[in-house]
Structure 1
Amino acid sequence: MKPLMLQGHERAITQIKYNREGDLLFSSSKDNKPNVWYSLNGERLGSFNGHQGAVWCIDVDWTTTRFLSGAGDNTCKIWDCETGKEIGNIVTNSSVRTCMFSYSANMAVYTTDKAMKQPCEMFIIDVRNVDESISHQDPILRIPINGPRVSSILWDNLDESIITGHENGEIITWDLKTGKKMNSVKEHDSLINDMQWNKDATMFITASKDHTAKLFDAESLALLKTYKTERPVNSAAISPIAEHVVVGGGQDAMDVTTTSARVGKFDSRFFHMVFEEEFGRVKGHFGPINSVAFHPDGKSYSSGGEDGYVRVHNFDSSYFEYNLDY
């Protein structure tokens, strides 16, 4: 399984995301230029130039016409996918940590960090007619987060609720009609780095600093499965075609220099979704893996690491023939 190495960032990758068809792969990093690549051959299509700080989060809408990015320069920007031009810029009081389009892409959500005496807040905005004036428009909904800050976010596919993962390991469902909490659980002991849906958005997987990835039911937030590792988990994704999950992580970036890559455990690890058993590892990164994503057809997956590389792996035929004999 020889990977495609996508080298277009100067600093650590923060997030990678496929569009719905899977022909494009978007990546953001701690440098200030999100990139877009052809996922088939790894060719870089272009970059989105305009941020002045580390880009923490990205999202692309259902039709791949709009692109959303949030950064440490206290802005959330909306871009035209085709031209790469900035069409909307929202200035915030602190850095933007998470952002996501709604399923219909009529709305978007972003959250800001608790920093510089500013509280953590969640904003719902209308993105149907984006132009320069969006920076002055009031959000549809503004929800102050009184507890620990939001570190990851999901929007349900009926546009009725939002699920947030927090710094203390709590997961909360918010009702968009009222802006109130509907449900909350605390199954993690530490920061939730990443949350991703399964194909039909009935379950989602979380990745946490407490060395586990967990599978939850979307409606009830019931804990279904736990995947344990010996290192902090930075990202986890669910295969769209098989009962497999991939998790990526590794020790904190600041501790990496004290250990060799062999000890650092910078592998993508594959678990069986139901049996919670690890059945494969893919090596290659020289630092912790910060983001993983399955291709929408399930035939390949990508990982982005602290080393600044995005690696696209196409699965061998043996992967599809594999089944657990129980």
Structure 2
Amino acid sequence: MMQRKCQQPIVCHGHSRPIVEVNYSNVTPDGYFLVSASKDGQPMLRSGTTGDWIGTFIGHKGCVWSCALDPSATLAATGSADFSAKIWDALTGMEKATLQHKHIVRTCCFSPCSGKLVTGGHEKLMRLFDVERPEAAPVELTGAPSAIKAAVFVGPSDSLLVSSTGDTAGLTVWDVRGGAVVRSMPTDGPVTSVDLTHDGRWLTTTDNRNTIRVWDTLKLDAPAKVFTVSYPAEAASYCPSKNRFVAGGEDMWVHLHSADGAGAELEVNKGHHGPVHTVRFGPEGKEYASGSEDGTIRIWQTDWLESQAGLADGAAQVAVNAVAPPYANGAKA
């Protein structure tokens, strides 16, 4: 392992409690954006490139467990421990709809092309809402073995949903039109994170504390890639254009890996002061964001290692950074 000049991330302060999820928008005419969910109950919107604070969505009365932006980044959705999900105008910050549930909402996700929002949580079911008519009765998908932890749309015309639960191994694939379970995708332990690439092709999951799987959503059978890492991983994200994946967990570090072969570790990024709960690549693959128990979001450059002078051509090396300085790009309003 080689000690090198440190990558200094953009550090985004503002949240007062742990960050549990971050998600990037697609690229829009105005750039792209980063939304964050936190146990402080105040989801925030930021510039996806600079981390500059844009606004805080105020209205939840409990921890916010999940956050999402629609394909145009004009709507945001959040799921909360206050037994509700909310749809927000991402341009004004105003609440557009409150979707009442009977228990904690752990996940929410917009469909890429059909105008739907899926929610799931401790009720052991998922609900499909029409974003244009959120007051209409949702379609319910029942039969999950335990509380839903994550759900994402996959397949042509958003025809399938992939879900995970908090305490059972494997993923479940649902037919959105009929509500039936069409297949299972096995893992060695409960899945702790699910991430879909921005092109919708690749699904990244973590399970068994150190196993990262990349699945082809056109097949949804055996994983296309499986990596075993040497540290406890809670979350991971894959970038096909860079052929890399990033992961984080209890060791408080953010690890960047090659997605070739055994997944050689390229960078070990230090700076967080608590476990890393969530990581995501930006839509162009230029950066990735991490969110931690320490209440901060950090934005890292994907190609930082290549930008450093004096690296040996073709050599696999590991760069270890120092603790990031207390520089905050953006502040809570």
Residue matched to 2:95: 86
Give a deviation string over 1:19-49, Cα, whole Å, max 9, x none. 1125321111001100011233322111000
1:224, distance to aligned residue in structure 2 (A): 2.4
Partner of 2:323: none
Q: Which has the higher contact order (CA 8 A, sep 6+)?
A: 2
Q: Which runs of 5+ in 2 are unaligned?
A: 1-6, 317-333
CA offset digits 1:256-304 (Å, max 9, x no partner): xxxxxxxxx2111122213122222111111111111111121111111
* Corresponding residue of 1:237: 237
1:76·1:90 contact (CA, 8 Å) conserved in 2?
yes
More displaced stretch, 232-241 vs 92-101: 232-241
Q: Which residue of 1 aligns with 2:23?
A: 17
Per the TM alignment, residue 238 of structure 1 is displaced from its structure 2 partner at its CA by 1.1
- Distance (Å, rounded) in 2 between the aligned partners of 1:317 and 1:31: 32
From 243, 267, 289, give the equivalent of 1:302: 289
36-45 or 293-302: bigger deviation: 36-45
Deviation at 1:230, TM superposition (A): 4.2
**Quick one: distance in 2 between partners of 1:105 and 1:54?**
28
CA separation in 1, counterparts of 2:305 and 2:144?
49
Equivalent position of 1:258 in the other structure? none
- Residue 126 of structure 1 aligns with which residue? 130
| Counterpart selection for 2:260 from 274, 283, 286 | 274
Equivalent positions of 1:1-326 (< 5 A) are 1-21=7-27, 23-104=32-113, 106-113=115-122, 119-130=123-134, 134=135, 137-139=136-138, 141-158=139-156, 159-166=158-165, 167-189=167-189, 191-218=190-217, 219-250=219-250, 265-277=251-263, 278-319=265-306
Q: What letter corresponds to residue 247 of structure 2 in structure 1?
A: V
**2 CA distance for matches of 1:214 and 1:40?**
27
The letter of the residue matching 2:70 is D
Please give the secondary structure, in 2, of the residue aligned with 1:94.
coil
Letter in 1 for 2:253: D
Letter of the structure 2 residue corresponding to residue 193 of structure 1: T
Q: Report if aligned partners of 1:11, 1:308 keep a CA contact under 8 Å in 2.
A: yes
- What is the CA-CA distance between 1:316 and the residue it aligns to? 4.9
Kindly tell me: are residues 317 and 29 of structure 1, through their superposed partners in 2, closer, same or farther at Cα, counting changes over 3 Å?
A: closer
The two structures, once aligned, show a CA RMSD in angstroms of 2.0
Cα 1:46–1:146 change in 2 (3 A) is closer
Aligned identity (percent) is 26
Match of 1:254 in 2: none
Q: What is the SS of the residue equivalent to 1:223? A: coil
Q: How many residues align?
A: 300
Q: Which runs of 5+ in 1 are unaligned?
A: 114-118, 251-264
